[in-house]
Structure 1
Amino acid sequence: MALSFFDQFMSPVFMGIPLMALALTLPWILFPTPTLRWLNNRLLTLQNWFIGRFTHELFLPVNVPGHKWALLLASLMLFLISLNMLGLLPYTFTPTTQLSLNMGLAVPFWLATVIIGMRNQPTESLGHLLPEGTPTLLIPVLIIIETISLFIRPLALGVRLTANLTAGHLLIQLIATAASVLLPLMPTVAILTGILLFLLTLLEVAVAMIQAYVFVLLLSLYLQENV
């Protein structure tokens, strides 16, 4: 029986035991840990430069009270990049193609930013629901629209990450299947398809990194509105 292309997105199970927890903990093992030496090696230096540069760019527009989130959001960025990149390797699984996992990450972080805004500056946070200078007749309608847009933010975060990774992986599998079918029939076309597959794989690597950055960047923008 032919398997569906979407079977690659199913959560892996080994002897009845879900392997999602293993897939979530594996990236942390792959990162090099700091040493007690005065000088780090090249890999640690590159990693520290990347984290520092990313954190600086991410929190540049954020107010000083929001800088307390630097360690948390930088860790989330590395975690998402690791999961997305590991999913491109053979015989691996991408947990971030599961909407449940992405929503489990998006909802608590979004809710934390909202709670911080309501606790520290409730007037400014509620003021985002009604733009200044709104005509009186449009006030109820705009409040309803802005409230819906506020509650749809975590859904947009989770669906964006899931949809981009799922579409990229599915397209790679479709083109790889076409290349394997065309190889004995039309070798020239199969070679061209293989080149296209290689370029698409490079694009998917970029998408995996960009989507992790966009996820954390949007969280920092939500944080900026509430600090």
Structure 2
Amino acid sequence: MVLNFFDQFESPSLLGIPLVVLALSLPLLLFPTPSPRWLNSRLLTLQNWFINRFTQQLLLPLSLGGHKWALLLTSLMLFLIALNMLGLLPYTYTPTTQLSLNMGLAVPLWLATVIVGLRNQPTIALGHLLPEGTPAPLVPVLIVIETISLFIRPLALGVRLTANLTAGHLLIQLIATAAFALLPLMTTVAILTSTVLLLLTLLEVGVAMIQAYVFVLLLSLYLQENV
């Protein structure tokens, strides 16, 4: 039976029930919870160190008004990393390869940053639509261009995450299929292909982490303009 390479990106279901809810809730069970003991385990200590370092790095360019978003942005970062990493395991499903899910995350968060800017500093927020010193004949054109670029931001967030993860997963499946097909015919070439597959899998692990960081970093930059 010949399967479509894009079948791995379809939302799985069991008895007609979508399993995407299970995939979204699974990362919450994997992170260790804080302990009331004085001494934490190595895993919990490493997790706390990573969260503290990431939060400090993320909030460094933000003003005090943006520090209220620390819990949300850090939780989103850990959530996306867990989803992206779990999708690399065999017989698993990556929800972040679905554009609908990524847009469902990007649009509300981007809209929240815009609303915060319009509520706290409306003059500065609207001033981003027209650069200072613009000649009068170019004012209408630049306002239209800046407005379009503003509304493209959530689309860029969702499409970037979807495209990078989809391309990586698809390339891994293509190379794996080629390695299995070449194994009985050309064993040496199949071994070399498997080596390339291993290196590509390691690269995809890095891409999964980097894309989660880029998603949250861009949100923090949008927030920086509005606080």
What TM-score does the superposition give when structure 2 sets the normalisation length? 0.99
- 2:84 maps to 84
Residues 1:174 and 2:151 aligned together: no
Q: Distance in 2 between matches of 1:83 and 1:14?
A: 20
Q: Distance in 1 between matches of 2:76 and 2:192?
A: 38
- 2:215 maps to 215
Matches within 5 A, 1:71-150: 71-150=71-150
Residues 1:56 and 2:56 aligned together: yes
Q: Distance in 2 between matches of 1:108 and 1:160?
A: 17
Kindly provide the CA deviation profile for residues 93-149 of structure 1, in whole angstroms up to 9, marking residues without a partner as x.
000000000000000000000000000000000000000000111000000000000
Computed over aligned residues only, the root mean square deviation of the Cα atoms, in angstroms, reads 0.5
Q: Alignment length, in residue pairs?
A: 227
Q: Distance in 2 between matches of 1:22 and 1:178?
A: 32
Residues 1:67 and 2:63 aligned together: no
Kindly provide the CA deviation profile for residues 3-58 of structure 1, in whole angstroms up to 9, marking residues without a partner as x.
11000000001111100100000000011011110111100000000000001111
What TM-score does the superposition give when structure 1 sets the normalisation length? 0.99
SS at match of 1:111: helix
Kindly provide the CA deviation profile for residues 190-220 of structure 1, in whole angstroms up to 9, marking residues without a partner as x.
0000000000000000000000000000000
Shift of residue 2 of structure 1?
Answer: 1.3
SS at match of 1:38: coil
Matches within 5 A, 1:15-54: 15-54=15-54
Q: Distance in 2 between matches of 1:4 and 1:91?
A: 15
Q: Distance in 1 between matches of 2:86 and 2:34?
A: 22
Unaligned runs of 5+ in 2: none
Shift of residue 189 of structure 1?
Answer: 0.5
Shift of residue 179 of structure 1?
Answer: 0.3
- 1:8 maps to 8
Q: Distance in 2 between matches of 1:2 and 1:185?
A: 20
Identity across matched positions, percent: 81
Give the residue type in structure 1 aligned to 2:226. Answer: N
Give the residue type in structure 1 aligned to 2:8. Answer: Q
